[in-house]
Structure formats: C-alpha cells, structure tokens
Amino acid sequence: MSKLKCEIELELKDKDGKLLEKRRFPSHTFVLNFFTLLDVHLAYRSMSITKIDGTTANVNLSDLNASQDFGANGSYGDANKGIVIGTSDTPYSPTQYKLQSIISHGSGSGQMFYGIQNIDQPQQVTNGYRIVLSRVFNNASGASITVKEIGIYMYALGVGYFLAARDVITPVTVANGQSLTVRYIISLTSS
Amino acid sequence: MTQKLKTELDLGLKYDIELELRDKDGKLLKKWVQEGRSWVKWFLYELYVQIAQSSITVTRTDGTSYTQGTDRQNFSIGTTYGDSGRGIIVGTSNLAWSIEQYKLDAPVSHGNSSGQLLYGATTVDDVTSMTNGYRIFVTRVFTNASGASIIVKETGIYSLLYAGCVMLARDVLTTPVEVQNLQSLTVRYCIYFTYA
C-alpha cells in the first residue's frame, strides 16, 4: 500500500535571511479543476474547466501544445502560474477557481515580489519519493502583509490559467523586508 | 520558533477497486470492493513531468528506460478492445506490491488461447460528485474464452507515453478470483479525492 499526500511548509525569514518561523502542516490541496484536468488526460477527452476569471473553457487536446497541461513552472514575477498567495480567509471549497484575494507581484502597497517557481525532481525519501514545489515571496511594499491563503495556479491549453489547489492557513504576517518561502511537498510512500 | 503539527492527514488521491464476476449470461455471481492505494513511483514521476514541464527517466512496462518528457497523452489510459498493453491490466501473480515495480508480475494477455482473457475497452467516465469529494470511474471487462479457468491475483493501470507505456498503480487482490471459462470479470477503479 502506498500513501499519496501533500504537505505545506512555510518559512518566514528576516531581511538578512535569518529564519524566524517555520511550519509544516497537511494540505487540503486539490480543487475540482485539478481533478477534472486529470480526468481529461486519463480519458484523453476534452472537458470544461473554470478559469481564474470565472469563465469556463474546454481543454484543447487537439494541439500538440496540450503537452503544457498541468504546468506550474512560473517564472519570476508571474502570479498566474505556480504557487500563489493571498490575504483572504474564506473557507476552502472544492469548486473555487481562484484565490479569493490574491497578492499581486510588485513593490506597491499590498504587493509582494514573486520569485521563480522551483520544482525539484522526485527525491527518494524513507519508504518512498517526493516532489517539492517551492517559491519565495519578498515584501518590499513598505508595510506588513498578512498571508491567509495559498494555492497553485496551473496552465491548460484552451483554458489558460486555473486554480489547482487552495488552502486557508493560520495567518502569517510578513513585515516589510521579510520573505516567506512556501513549499508544497507531494509524497508517495509505502505504508 | 519552529512549529510542526503532529497529525498527518491523508488527503491525496485514492482509489478503490470494484470487481464483478458474471456468468456467460451476464448474471452477477459475486461483487466486492477492495481498497486500493497502491500507486507506484511512476505516477509521481509523471505528475512531476507535467507540473515542472520537464523530463525524467522512467522504466516502461517493457522494462526499458525512457526519458519521458511532457506530452498531451501523458496519463492517458482509455483504450480499445484487445489492447492488453494499456489501461486496466490483470495478472496471475500475487507477488507483494512494491513502490518500485514497473509492470504486473505476470500479466494476462489478450486472446482466447490458454491463459488468455479477452480484453474489453478501458473506459474512463467524467468526474462525478460523491459525499465530500469527487470521483472518476475507470472500467474494463475481461472475458474468459480460453477453455479453462484463470485465477486473477493482481490488477494494475498502464498509462500511455509518447513511446511505450508506464505503470501507474498495481494491486494484489486480497482475495484471488477464479474466472471460469465463459465467465467475465469487470474491474472498475474508482479514483477519488475527498475534502472533509
């Protein structure tokens, strides 16, 4: 028997990189959109997904570029792809299609800098394997920002960007000059 | 301050395996469900390839290594009648499950000769809701026209790659099932996630 699970790890660091706080907790992870895209590829048949703007569209499998489906490899500053953070504590629902109050990239009021989205190759761990997705968010806005929700935005051809996972977390306040590292740890272990 | 929660909730993708044994007239003889949670490492690898938009070396179901890259057909398991190289596969070995396995230990091939079963199409249904979750049914019917009984002890799921196939899951049946000549076995995977 194997166990597939997802955990979230948070690290709050000061401007010098000194660790101030570290948490690790289970993620509720998936929303319906992710599961639907999985079904699209299991069945190899187009289905409808809700985009982050609330409209729906069909996944386009007729184009070779559908190989980009599930992509979460956001580049620096890209708040449409990869791990994203927000300030809302609206409870999780599997039909949600976006973070409820996303923090955008930048140094303006209420903004944070989005680092590049890192996705490590599968690593062997005790009794199994894991994938780690991590992203660093820097606050240069001039004021504190309290993060209350995190999620993952992915891409699917024909749909564009969509919410794949969302969690409401115990709030973490990121003061000006501090950074927050968010890690999703997806593991498959024997049990 | 370092904070670590002690509890670990298993909220990942799970699946159950439903089995139905029917006689030659389609009459249901036996039906039971086995909890299945036997994803193998190649499932995680395939997920990595797509999420990272990268590539990685996998072991295909024929035992050869392959550098798997992104592809629109990754994860595809729906297949046609007679294809015993993809979709739901059954076998006759009860070798213990291991996360490293890349194929069924003794897969049954398609046909009506000794030791063979006729493989129906593997169908994949649309997502449906269930209590506090969502599920996908994947189904295949195996018919025995070999002239003798075949005892099924293992099931698995093979997924298409750009070239070849990779195994996503393998389960040893808690109770082996004897499929007599002219009987059929329906194997149905219920893949689901729950959020409460």
Q: Does A116 lie at the interface with B, CB-CB under 8 angstroms?
A: no
For residue A185, what are its two tokens? 């740890």
Tens of pLDDT, residue by residue over A124-179, are 999 999 999 999 999 999 999 999 999 999 999 999 999 999 999 999 999 999 99
User: What is the identity of the amino acid at A106?
Assistant: G
What's the alpha-carbon Rg for chain A, to the nearest Å? 17
- A191 occurs within a structural domain: no
- B165 occurs within a structural domain: yes
- Answer yes or no: is pLDDT of B33 > 70: yes
Cβ contact B41–A122 (<8 Å): yes
- B20 occurs within a structural domain: no
Q: What is the ipTM of this complex?
A: 0.95
For residue B85, what are its two tokens? 């190289």
Cβ contact B75–A119 (<8 Å): no
pLDDT of residue B63: 97
Cβ contact B78–A43 (<8 Å): yes
Cβ contact A45–B10 (<8 Å): no
What is the β-pairing status of strands A56-58 and A2-13? unpaired
Based on the structure, what is the number of domains in chain B? Answer: 1
Domain, as residue range, for B83 = 38-194
Nearest-CA distance from B85 to chain A in Å? 15
- B112 occurs within a structural domain: yes
Cβ contact A61–B50 (<8 Å): no
H helices of B8-141, in order, are 41-52
- A60 occurs within a structural domain: yes
Q: Which of B10, B38, B73 sits opposite A44 (nearest CB)?
A: B73
Cβ contact A70–B47 (<8 Å): yes
Based on the structure, what is the number of domains in chain A? Answer: 1
Domain, as residue range, for A27 = 2-185
Provide the phi-psi class of B146: left if phi over 0, else alpha when psi is between -120 and 50, else beta: alpha
CB pairs under 8 A between A and B: 169
Mean pLDDT is lowest, of A21-25, A173-177, B12-16, for: B12-16
Task: Find the length of chain B.
Answer: 196
pLDDT of residue B12: 64
Q: Which of A67, A68, A131 sits opposite B48 (nearest CB)?
A: A131
Tens of pLDDT, residue by residue over A36-60, are 999 999 999 999 999 999 999 999 9
- B29 occurs within a structural domain: no
Q: Does A177 lie at the interface with B, CB-CB under 8 angstroms?
A: no
